[in-house]
Amino acid sequence: MRRLIAGIAGAVFGFGLVLSDMIDPDRVLAFLTLNSGKWDPTLAFVMGGAILPMLLAWRISAQREQPFLGGEFPPRPTGGPDRKLMAGAILFGIGWGVIGLCPGPALAGLLIGGWPVALFVAAAFGGMALYQYQFTRA
Amino acid sequence: MEFILGDAIKGLVGGLLIGCSAAILLLANGRIAGISGIAGALITKSATKLRFENLAFVLGLITAPLAYSVLIEQPEIGVSTNPIMLVFAGLCVGLGTRLGSGCTSGHGVCGLSRFSPRSLASVLTFVGTAMLVASGVRMITGAPV
């Protein structure tokens, strides 16, 4: 059941990325590029729209002992921003700003975006593996 | 600036779908819909019982746009064809999102809605950095890479 729900959630997420056009890196770069002469605010609407249901979801979760399918709700992260968090955000921002792809749209476009998206996804998994073996002692 | 009402509405509706997906995953499974976290967990050595759940989410995420392109229309995907830049950006995004514990979905959608100070700091930083980089690239080359 958990896997079915996860699969459905993934599909809804992917459909949302297509409908909002965030699957198109050109559209994302049109938001991130401030000096193009035709700045495109669409990404802000997508982010705003996505936050609304989650505001409600966090409120519901606060009133429940556990998720509907059992287990536990994710604990609130303790502490404030640290150097690791900020260094990661800067590195991510550099990559995002260069190509206009972040993990969600990259995976969503994996099968329909041709070789460039596939190459980007492969490199992103490479970057994740690098973290795995360099920065953790798993 | 170019404001197109139809694009804003489609963005809002698509965003609502993304938020509903994250809400379902949180309320049913107790999971954060952070794509970098879910994808990153697929390549960790420690095999957990969540592995197939993560795989199911990623499969849904990958196949829904394919189904859309087959059944309805092929979405336009305008992406750089510079292999060096694609690899460089992919490495930055993969390493950065794991180091920084999240991306646009985990920190942006799930973290901001929880009023997490860490997520707010992260989002302001990666959006600010990406705007500097994208605008810088435009200034230097006159076009995206």
Domain range list for chain A: 2-134
Confidence check: pLDDT of B65 > 80? yes
Confidence check: pLDDT of B28 > 70? yes
The position carrying tokens 């995953």 is: B25
Chain A residue numbers touching B21 (CB-CB < 8 A): 9-10, 12-13, 16
- Within an 8 Å CB–CB cutoff, is residue B41 touching chain A? no
What's the token pair of residue A38?
């035709």
- Within an 8 Å CB–CB cutoff, is residue B140 touching chain A? no
Give B97's pLDDT tier (boundaries 50, 70, 90).
very high
What's the token pair of residue B101?
């514990």
What one-character DSSP code corresponds to residue A52?
Answer: H
Query: How much is the pLDDT for B145?
Result: 61
- Within an 8 Å CB–CB cutoff, is residue B74 touching chain A? yes
- Kindly report, residue by residue over A82-138, the tens digit of the pLDDT: 999 999 999 999 999 999 999 999 999 999 999 999 999 999 999 999 998 887 654
d(CA B67, CA A11): 10
Let me know: does A131 contact B93? Beta carbons within 8 Å: no
What is the ipTM metric for this complex? 0.94
Confidence check: pLDDT of B47 > 70? no
d(CA B18, CA B35): 12
Nearest to B19 by CA among A41, A12, A85, A117: A12
Give B50's pLDDT tier (boundaries 50, 70, 90).
confident
**Residue A9 is nearest to which of B33, B96, B104, comparing CB atoms?**
B33
- Kindly report, residue by residue over A43-80, the tens digit of the pLDDT: 999 999 999 999 999 999 999 999 999 999 999 988 88
**Residue A69 is nearest to which of B28, B114, B131, comparing CB atoms?**
B28
- Kindly report, residue by residue over A12-30, the tens digit of the pLDDT: 999 999 999 999 999 999 9
Overall average pLDDT of the B32-39 stretch: 95
Overall average pLDDT of the B16-20 stretch: 98
The residue of chain A with its CA nearest to that of B105 is A104
